[in-house]
């Protein structure tokens, strides 16, 4: 393709790479180069400019990966490159020359280079080539034969790269072997994934990069029976002031976060571990329900500026204490205590750290800001009335005390999203949410939660699906992926863009780490419905109510199944959902519509008066649901248009998915609604 030179862009004062091409390119090449330049992904080398016989590229300091590497390292690299290719394929661009030489490693991060052989597809699905171009030993069979190509060709090439990095040698030694032979079997936990990538027939491979990513994420790089597992229970607050509970909870949560960074250690997420708080459950029972071998429990006593932390690590099968320790410290040493506790547990479990990447260095806030931040998180989980006020005060106090710490800003972005549907004017809430998420990213550019909330604001309020996708790709790029991040990705993005099955998989993976998190399980029920798996969705919703009979989000989900007989069952579910979530306007619409179906028009009108007062921010969405249930499609579409113009949260969260979205699509006016929501063509 030509020579590459290192240079300085004097206009923008930056180092760049200039690729000198062997010949003057065509107008078609320039069009393709500019399309590739529009790709914005953390693992794609950026094209800055294109000239008659050169390209100006992002300068990347690094080396190509060389095998053999550990399965965990290959999994991480494979996920990064698959994510980059997924973005390119979404724009109709194939790479066509995926090989180790076109990947540069900068620390633990990979950059995919040289889309110079890529061809812009005419229809976003397949492209035809004249002749054969690429690197022979990494070509797919169809590429070697000069046939039509699609995304599955890049999947084959990536499989060849993964094979080489795992084994230390190439999968194929000749072009004839690419067409005819199977590579030698791999002795690796990733062997099945690589074998499927390298299937000769495209139909036998993973069909999309998204499918391959899911498989890599689910792959266990350590046999289950050798992988230590632990749940950290909420630490008991032994302080005389019961309001100090936020501190003991926060300490346990920080230890969970520290242990989650340890490779090959399975750590139960916060929500599931904390579900046993205040319950008289034995260690063996807790371990059984969470699927772990070890339990860490402890206590915190805080008095003035001193704390005493006790912690003990228990082997669940026999109740033996593997390790215990007491820490008497000044409060200023709290971060050292957290590090000591997590380090001691790691040693006690004899976690194998070979091949582990260097842990990220986290910002250390001052202690007063840390306390205030813990208050903000603690009260946000309670989500009701005075607790929302105290949560906001906690986050704002943390920012005041340490304005250079990113996490409180990200926490406030979460707070404003919740407040947009209950506490304040949605437009003001979203503006402030964006402001805080942006500030968090200024301080810590890769913080996943801030990127996720910016993506959610883009999707929910601006219907900007491309920018939402880009933000979620950034949020999902950092490992390990938090279970709640998988939920946000599946719930707010994947299920709306025709990728409901991927949303289901993201929720299932999240529940593997956080099995008692009811928000995740409700999300699984919702995405199962969107994938057309209604019976499974109903079963998951019932599981949620078995855990918590008052968990309001699933009542409307079950009441949506208004074809059930008798109708009284749906009415009972909708009524209870309304009673325990009076701030939810869509629940009013569901209940009022079902009352009309049951012939109780007077009570339905009484319910609707609560919407007409203008106190509930999602009233237009609620009226849309009401008229859909009453069978008045024109009125429903009129209200849906109003909801879209007002940018109500519930448009994307409730009206767009099934069952309401499926009903609205029956209207002749649906194309107009789809354009107003800027929906991708594939799901209009």
Residue entry with tokens 């790089």: 221
CA dist 39 and 34 (Å) reads: 9
With 90 as the cut, is the pLDDT of residue 641 above it?
yes
With 60 as the cut, is the pLDDT of residue 123 above it?
no
CA dist 629 and 642 (Å) reads: 18
Bridge partners, 327 (sequence order)? 309
Bridge partners, 18 (sequence order)? 5, 56
With 90 as the cut, is the pLDDT of residue 675 above it?
yes
Give the tens place of pLDDT for each residue, 510-528. Answer: 888 888 888 899 899 999 9
- φ, ψ for residue 341, nearest 5 deg: -65, -50
CA dist 311 and 670 (Å) reads: 59
Query: Is residue 97 flagged as an active site residue?
Result: yes
156-166: average pLDDT: 95
pLDDT at 99: 94
Closest Cα to residue 338, out of 401, 251, 220? 251
User: Domain range holding 336?
Assistant: 224-362
pTM of the model: 0.67
Task: Assess if residue 299 is contained within a domain.
Answer: yes
Bridge partners, 330 (sequence order)? 306
567-576: average pLDDT: 79
With 50 as the cut, is the pLDDT of residue 118 above it?
no
CA dist 201 and 213 (Å) reads: 20
Task: Assess if residue 215 is contained within a domain.
Answer: no
Element (H, E) at 624: helix 619-630
Give the tens place of pLDDT for each residue, 416-442. Answer: 988 887 667 878 889 999 999 999 998
Q: Which of 362, 385, 411 is the last residue of a domain?
A: 362
**Residue 607's domain is classified under what CATH number?**
1.25.40
CA dist 437 and 388 (Å) reads: 18
Task: Assess if residue 493 is contained within a domain.
Answer: no
Task: For the chain, give the mean pLDDT.
Answer: 82
What tokens appear for 169 in the block? Answer: 């040698």
What tokens appear for 494 in the block? Answer: 């994947």
pLDDT at 354: 32
With 50 as the cut, is the pLDDT of residue 128 above it?
no
With 70 as the cut, is the pLDDT of residue 348 above it?
no
Q: What is the 3-state secondary structure (H, E, C) of 5-72?
A: EEEEECCCCEEEEEEEECCCCCHHHHHHHHHHHCCCCCCECCEEEECCCEEEEECCCCECCCCCCCHH
Closest Cα to residue 634, out of 683, 596, 672, 586? 672
pLDDT at 615: 59
Give the tens place of pLDDT for each residue, 475-486. Answer: 887 777 889 999
Cβ atoms within 10 Å of 624's Cβ, excluding its own: 31
Q: How many CA atoms lie within 13 A of 682 on its CB side?
A: 12
Total domains in the fold of the chain: 2
Which pairs with CB-CB distance under 8 Å and at least 24 residues apart come from 178-181? 178/136, 178/137, 178/139, 178/140, 178/141, 178/144, 179/141, 179/144, 179/145
Q: Which of 346, 362, 378 is the last residue of a domain?
A: 362
Give the confidence band of 465 by pLDDT, cuts at 50, 70, 90. very high
Give the confidence band of 358 by pLDDT, cuts at 50, 70, 90. very low
Q: Pick the more confident residue, 638 or 552.
A: 638
Q: Pick the more confident residue, 556 or 153.
A: 153
453-465: average pLDDT: 93
| 19 close to 54: Cβ distance less than 8 angstroms | yes
Using left for φ > 0, alpha for ψ between -120 and 50, and beta otherwise, residue 412 falls in: alpha
Task: Assess if residue 50 is contained within a domain.
Answer: no
Closest Cα to residue 155, out of 196, 192, 215? 196
Task: Assess if residue 615 is contained within a domain.
Answer: yes
Percent of the chain having pLDDT more than 90? 26
| 143 close to 153: Cβ distance less than 8 angstroms | yes
Give the tens place of pLDDT for each residue, 491-512. Answer: 999 999 888 888 998 898 888 8
Listed range (129-133, 321-325, 424-428, 544-548) with the worst mean pLDDT: 129-133
Report the Cα 241 to chain-centroid distance in Å. 37
pLDDT at 254: 80
64-86: average pLDDT: 89
Give the confidence band of 258 by pLDDT, cuts at 50, 70, 90. confident
Listed range (138-142, 225-229, 306-310) with the worst mean pLDDT: 225-229
Give the confidence band of 549 by pLDDT, cuts at 50, 70, 90. confident
Q: Which of 321, 344, 362 is the last residue of a domain?
A: 362
With 80 as the cut, is the pLDDT of residue 121 above it?
no
CA dist 345 and 262 (Å) reads: 11
Listed range (83-92, 224-233, 514-523) with the worst mean pLDDT: 224-233
pLDDT at 468: 92
Give the tens place of pLDDT for each residue, 387-417. Answer: 888 999 999 999 999 999 999 999 999 999 8
Query: What DSSP state is assigned to residue 651?
Result: I
339-345: average pLDDT: 69
pLDDT at 349: 53
Give the tens place of pLDDT for each residue, 618-635. Answer: 789 889 999 999 999 999
Closest Cα to residue 79, out of 629, 667, 477? 477
Task: Assess if residue 437 is contained within a domain.
Answer: no
Residue in 9, 13, 53, 97 annotated catalytic:
97
Task: Assess if residue 196 is contained within a domain.
Answer: no
DSSP string computed for 26-39: PHHHHHHHHHHHT-
Q: Pick the more confident residue, 301 or 488.
A: 488
CA dist 600 and 617 (Å) reads: 26
107-119: average pLDDT: 71
306-312: average pLDDT: 83
pLDDT at 263: 65
Closest Cα to residue 549, out of 580, 524, 589, 590? 580
**Residue 292's domain is classified under what CATH number?**
3.40.50.10610
60-87: average pLDDT: 89
Give the tens place of pLDDT for each residue, 36-45. Answer: 777 778 888 8
Task: Assess if residue 368 is contained within a domain.
Answer: no
pLDDT at 222: 46
């Amino acid at each position: 393709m030509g020579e590459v030179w290192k240079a300085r862009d004097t206009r923008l004062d930056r180092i760049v790479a200039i690729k000198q091409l062997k010949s003057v390119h065509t107008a078609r090449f320039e069009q393709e180069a500019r399309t590739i330049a529009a790709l914005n992904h953390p693992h794609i080398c950026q094209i800055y400019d294109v000239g008659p016989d050169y390209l100006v590229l992002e300068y990347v300091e690094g080396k190509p990966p060389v095998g053999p590497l550990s399965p965990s390292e290959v999994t991480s690299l494979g996920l990064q490159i698959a994510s980059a290719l997924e973005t390119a394929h979404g724009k109709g661009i194939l790479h066509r020359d995926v090989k180790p030489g076109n990947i540069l490693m900068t620390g633990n991060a990979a950059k995919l280079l040289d889309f110079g052989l890529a061809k812009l597809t005419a229809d976003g699905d397949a492209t035809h080539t004249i002749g054969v171009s690429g690197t022979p030993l990494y070509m797919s069979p169809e590429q070697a034969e000069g046939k039509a190509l699609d995304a599955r060709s890049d999947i084959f090439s990536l499989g060849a790269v993964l094979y080489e990095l795992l084994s230390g040698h190439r999968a194929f030694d000749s072009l004839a072997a690419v067409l005819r032979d199977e590579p030698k079997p791999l002795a690796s936990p990733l062997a099945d994934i690589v074998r499927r990538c390298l299937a000769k027939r495209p139909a036998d491979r993973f069909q999309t990069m998204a499918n391959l990513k899911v498989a890599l994420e689910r792959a266990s790089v350590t046999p289950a029976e050798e992988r230590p597992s632990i749940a950290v229970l909420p630490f008991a607050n032994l302080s005389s002031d019961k309001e100090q509970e936020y501190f003991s909870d926060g300490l346990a949560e920080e230890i969970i976060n520290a242990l989650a960074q340890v490779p090959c250690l399975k750590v139960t997420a916060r929500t599931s571990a904390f579900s046993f708080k205040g319950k008289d459950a034995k260690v063996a029972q807790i371990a059984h329900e969470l699927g772990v071998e070890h339990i860490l429990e402890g206590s915190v006593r805080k008095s003035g500026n001193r704390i005493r932390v006790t912690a003990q690590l228990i082997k669940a099968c026999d109740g033996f204490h593997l390790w215990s320790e007491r820490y008497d410290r000044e409060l200023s040493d709290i971060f050292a205590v957290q590090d000591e506790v997590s380090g001691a547990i790691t040693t006690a479990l004899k976690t194998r750290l070979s091949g582990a990447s260097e842990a990220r260095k986290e910002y250390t806030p001052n202690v007063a800001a840390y306390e205030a931040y813990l208050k903000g998180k603690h009260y946000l989980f309670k989500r009701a009335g005075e607790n929302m006020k105290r949560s906001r005060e906690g986050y704002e106090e943390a920012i005041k005390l340490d304005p250079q710490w990113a996490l409180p800003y990200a926490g406030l972005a979460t707070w404003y999203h919740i407040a947009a549907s209950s506490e304040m004017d949605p437009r003001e809430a979203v503006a402030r949410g964006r402001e805080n998420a942006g500030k968090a990213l200024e301080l810590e550019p890769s913080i996943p939660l801030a990127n996720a909330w910016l993506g959610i604001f883009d999707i929910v309020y601006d219907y900007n699906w491309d920018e939402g996708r880009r933000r979620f790709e950034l949020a999902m790029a950092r490992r390990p992926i938090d279970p709640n991040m998988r939920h946000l990705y599946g719930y707010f993005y994947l299920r709306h863009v025709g990728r409901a099955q991927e949303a289901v998989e993201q929720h299932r993976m999240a529940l593997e780490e956080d099995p008692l998190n009811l928000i995740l399980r409700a999300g699984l029920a919702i995405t199962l419905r969107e994938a057309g798996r209604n019976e499974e969705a109903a079963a998951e919703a019932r599981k949620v109510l078995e855990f918590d009979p008052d968990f309001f989000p699933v009542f409307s989900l079950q009441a949506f199944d208004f074809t059930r007989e008798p109708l009284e069952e749906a009415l009972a579910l909708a009524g209870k959902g309304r009673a325990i979530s009076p701030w939810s306007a869509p629940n009013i619409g569901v209940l009022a519509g079902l009352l009309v179906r049951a012939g109780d028009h007077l009570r339905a009108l009484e319910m609707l008066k609560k919407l007409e007062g203008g106190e509930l921010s999602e009233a237009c969405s609620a009226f849309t649901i009401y008229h859909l249930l009453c069978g008045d499609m024109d009125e429903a579409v009129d209200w849906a248009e109003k909801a879209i113009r007002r940018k109500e949260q519930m448009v994307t969260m409730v009206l767009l998915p099934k069952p309401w979205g499926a009903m609205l699509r029956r209207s002749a006016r649906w194309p107009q609604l789809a354009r107003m929501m800027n929906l991708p063509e594939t799901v209009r």
